[in-house]
Amino acid sequence: MLFFTQCFGAVLDLIHLQFQHYKAKRVFSAAGQLVCVVNPTHSLKYAPTRCAAVQVSTEQGVLPPCHHHEVVHDPQLVPCTCPLFSCPWEGHLELVVSHLRQTHRINILQGAEIVFLATDMHLPAPTDWIIMHSCLGHQFLLVLRKQEKYEGHPQFFATMMLIGTPSQADNFTYRLELNRNQRRLKWEATPRSILECVDSVISDGDCLVLNTSLAQLFSDNGSLAIGIAITTSKVHSSEAEM
């Protein structure tokens, strides 16, 4: 009985996922966009991230403490950029993508324009929806986070990070677009480098920000579809229009 119960639950989950994917394809197939259904994941980080600690120490004019003075870290190594975990991994920038895929099982989708379909928006904060986007010869990390910036008032934050240097990020422009029930909301900006830390970008509010009521206007049965487009551009623009 336990075996059949577990199998039945897995089948129901698969049917639900296929139904969500079918609905998204029906809505966006006319635009020729690829649809990726992304399930939520609760963040496992309960302490300040390493990049946040280094940023605070630098602003205060002191270097972060080194517990093992005999160890000298290679300045070319970067910490794990996954916003979900406090991961001790360090490596070169060109190895970040393989680390995210192999260790943290983050999916990657290719295409100039895709649709990011986040499911189960009703789950309590903090919750993250994450995917990698391969486009124009580079890889980007899309992060949608539900977080309480003020107690009892959860908000949704969506941003695109280039897995590359800040100078490389300046060459691109990304657009996030919500479109449902004759309403349209668009955010267009230059992506930030993954070296700048996702948490600090969300804290600064330099991203698409939705309160709960606004997110509900664009959601469909608890799922939020975000159209993503990336172009090469030297023009620095940041706008949100409705």
Q: What is the pLDDT of residue 35?
A: 83
79-116, pLDDT tens digit by residue?
A: 888 887 788 999 999 999 999 999 998 989 888 789 99
Exposure string (b/e) for 161-185, b if CB count within 10 Å is 16 or more?
Answer: bbbbeeeebbbbbbbbbbbeeeeeb
Whole-model pTM? 0.73
d(CA 228, CA 232): 14
Mean pLDDT (the chain, rounded): 77
Which pLDDT score is estimated for 211?
Answer: 94
- Checking if the pLDDT of 27 tops 70, the result is no
221 φ, ψ (degrees, to nearest 5):
55, 45
Q: In this prediction, what percent of the chain has a pLDDT beyond 90? A: 48
Domains present along the chain, CATH in parentheses: 33-40+78-232 (2.60.210.10)
Mean pLDDT computed over 179-198? 93
Flag whether pLDDT at 188 surpasses 70.
Answer: yes
Q: Residue 26's pLDDT band (boundaries 50, 70, 90)?
A: very low
Q: What is the pLDDT of residue 238?
A: 46
> Which stretch of DSSP H or E encloses residue 8?
helix 2-28
User: Has residue 158 got a pLDDT over 50?
Assistant: yes
The SS3 call for residue 23 is: helix
- Segment 221-226 shows an average pLDDT of 94
43 vs 200, more confident: 200
pLDDT of residue 189: 96
Predicted confidence at residue 112, as pLDDT, reads 79
